[in-house]
Copies of this chain bind each other. A is one copy, B any other.
Amino acid sequence: MQNSVITKYGLHGKLTAQSGKGDELAEILLQAADLLKSAKGCHLYVISKDQQTAENVWVYEVWDSKEDHDNSLQVAGVRELIGKAMPILAGQPEKGMEFTVLGGTGLN
């Protein structure tokens, strides 16, 4: 691989809702994804549920840089959505797993 490849910042994290609140949490995160459509450097913000535990909601993010990711907290409305999500979480969010994204199909 050439050194000239421009990589991106990836993050895959899990949020766990309180019992029975998985769909509500997913809905809040889908609203956050919508707000991030115009965020600087945001390529992907994909919301999933896993197939074992209805309370687990996963977010797969790709950004131009970690800095762009960190700045996303400043996007209008995002803090309000975090404020809606926090009370229905089962404990603190875990730190997600970070990746160096090389490229692929479907990545804008």
In whole angstroms, what is the CA distance A1 to B104 when docked?
30
A74 contacts chain B at the CB level, 8 A cutoff: no
Q: Tell me the bound Cα distance from A10 to B12 in angstroms.
A: 13
Contact check, B60 vs A103: say whether CB atoms are below 8 A apart: no
Stoichiometry (number of copies): 2
Residue A97, interface by CB 8 Å: yes
Taking residues whose C-beta sits less than 8 angstroms from the other chain, chain A's interface range is 35 or more
Contacts of A43 in B (CB 8 A): 106
Is the CB–CB distance between B26 and A107 below 8 Å?
Answer: no
Q: A44-B104, A46-B62 are in contact. List 9 more A-B contacts (CB 8 A).
A: A10-B46, A10-B48, A43-B106, A46-B101, A47-B102, A47-B103, A48-B101, A48-B102, A50-B99
Chain A residues with CB under 8 Å of chain B are 1, 10, 12, 23, 26-27, 30, 33-34, 36-37, 42-51, 58-60, 62, 97-108
